[in-house]
Structure 1
């Protein structure tokens, strides 16, 4: 499936900004199941300095600096992406979850060792007994790991209510677990906390999800949004497998991967530091459009 993606971010500042330093992570990754043959990042006002690098996780980071009085910043990312998902693994064919846990903890280097760093708490995602207790019914002794992941994915989808007013970007995972309400970022981080609390490696994935309006309803321009889900290491044969607790699915060709890391702090699409600004208003509009050509 080929997509044209437009991600437009606009900041309007209460008072003039004299200097702004920003970091953008908006270029979709190139992966075995995904290619991004074309990407363009347009910035207004024009930066005086701009540099691109890959971060620790292989995400493309673009740093830019803007000088000169301005009260509006607009960042437009345009991408052409092709997604071809392989046939999913049979969950029952994956190793027992304890095998993955023990391999990550082993003192002897093995294929699971690099994934082991993603079993620990991170800046935004704690580990602890409450998360392990919630996860444990999905991970009975000897259960294949992907079966457990699918069951946990389904339970979060069933037990938690999608409510954009219940949380914001700073809401702790502990509060989300207690109130059982939030958005995709919250559900992904709760699921990761649960998996890591059992000793399983899990990472936070940011990207896009093509939305399909009901029959007879025209898709609105800018109505799509960034999305978040989870990736879990399931062994040497199948590697990292994605799961989307917001929608209770294993992502397919409708999910477009942009970046991954320990939590949202590693993959935020745009962040920065400014001199001036005062109050600021943020508007984000995303279009994920199937390519007709």
Structure 2
């Protein structure tokens, strides 16, 4: 399937910003099932300096600085890519290790791949392991259960027990609070799943990107109605990183478009940087369109 994604980000300031330095994670990366055919980024006002690059995790980055006064910053990214649907892993037909076997492999980590994966066992900016989170996930990720089956069951558990609520949390809401309130958005559910999985000694990483949304039957799709999305992946030997979407209770295949991945949201935030002046408040507008071609 071929898609065009248009992502528009606008910051409106109450007073002029005199200088800014920024880095974006808005240029989608290539993966074994996703090929970016073209990508274009436009920044207004025009940057005095800009540079494309790649971060530690292999994500596409774009640095820019603006040295003219401005009360509005606009960043528009348009990308076109092909996404292949693939046969999803089947835990019944594959020799997938159990959770106990994977924990044992990681304890010895006798290959470069396993040693690199251990990075995703640790705490990070938004991920903090705890006994409470481990207790919530312990039965699902029991030693005798296959890693794939456990991840599928845990994805379904979050979907069944948690409620999508865009007003309940913020980016800094800790996983234990999400557990107590059982509410949040895709970002919270991804962070929560990763926090629980790492708390039981298994590696998980955060994935950001887009999800194609379709209107109800008989209705036209609204411009700008799509949004950024977040999900997680767990490492399975021989298969690599296998993705799961607890917000929608499924394994991504075909309609999920990956922008970047890392330990958590802090590694892949769409825009981060420093501004000088700009007043004491700002307004953010984001519009996303995912279109099948």
State whether residues 105 and 116 of structure 1, in contact with CA within 8 Å, keep that contact through their aligned partners in structure 2: no
Counterpart residue number, 2:16: 16
Count of residues in correspondence between the two structures: 290
* C-alpha displacement of 1:138: 1.1
Shift of 1:170: 2.0
In 2, Cα distance between equivalents of 1:110 and 1:273: 37
TM-score of the aligned structures, taking structure 2 as reference length: 0.97
Deviation, structure 1 residue 97:
1.3
* Aligned twin of 2:285: 283
The match for 2:126 is 124
Separation in structure 2 between the aligned mates of residue 190 and residue 71 of structure 1, nearest angstrom: 36
- Whether contact under 8 Å (2:101, 2:143) holds in the other structure is no
For the residues of structure 1 that align with 2:142 and 2:202, how far apart are their CA atoms?
14
1:271 — aligned with what? 272
Q: Is the 8 A contact 1:229 1:243 kept in 2?
A: yes
Q: Is the 8 A contact 1:103 1:113 kept in 2?
A: no
Question: Is residue 192 from structure 1 mapped to residue 194 from structure 2 by the alignment?
Answer: yes
- Residue aligning to 2:139: 137
TM-fit CA distance, 1:98: 1.5
Residue segments in structure 2 that go unaligned for 5+ positions in a row:
none
Normalised TM-score (structure 1)? 0.97
Q: Distance in 2 between matches of 1:15 and 1:153?
A: 45
Give unmatched runs, 5+ long, in structure 1. Answer: none
Q: Matched residues in 2 for 1:104 and 1:223: separation?
A: 42
Q: Deviations over 1:162-197 (max 9, x none)?
A: 000001122222211211100000000000001101
Is the partner of 1:205 in helix, strand or coil? Answer: strand
Shift of 1:81: 1.3
**CA distance in 2: counterparts of 1:290 and 1:110, whole angstroms:** 39
Q: How does 1:73-112 map to 2 (within 5 A)?
A: 73-92=73-92, 93=94, 94-106=96-108, 108-109=110-111, 111-112=113-114
Q: Which shows bigger deviation, 87-96 or 202-211? A: 87-96
Partner of 2:178: 176
| Equivalent residue, structure 1, for 2:50 | 50
Q: Aligned in 2, Cα 1:107/1:24: closer, same or farther, shift over 3 Å?
A: closer
Contact 2:100-2:142 within 8 A present in 1 as well? no
Greater shift after overlay, 40-49 or 99-108?
99-108
Q: Which residue number in structure 2 is paired with residue 151 of structure 1?
A: 153
Once residues 263 and 76 of structure 2 are traced to their aligned partners in structure 1, the CA distance between those partners, rounded to angstroms, is 26
Specify the SS of the correspondent of 2:251.
Answer: coil
Matches of 1:31 and 1:41, distance apart in 2? 20
Please give the root-mean-square deviation of Cα atoms over the aligned residues, in Å. 1.1
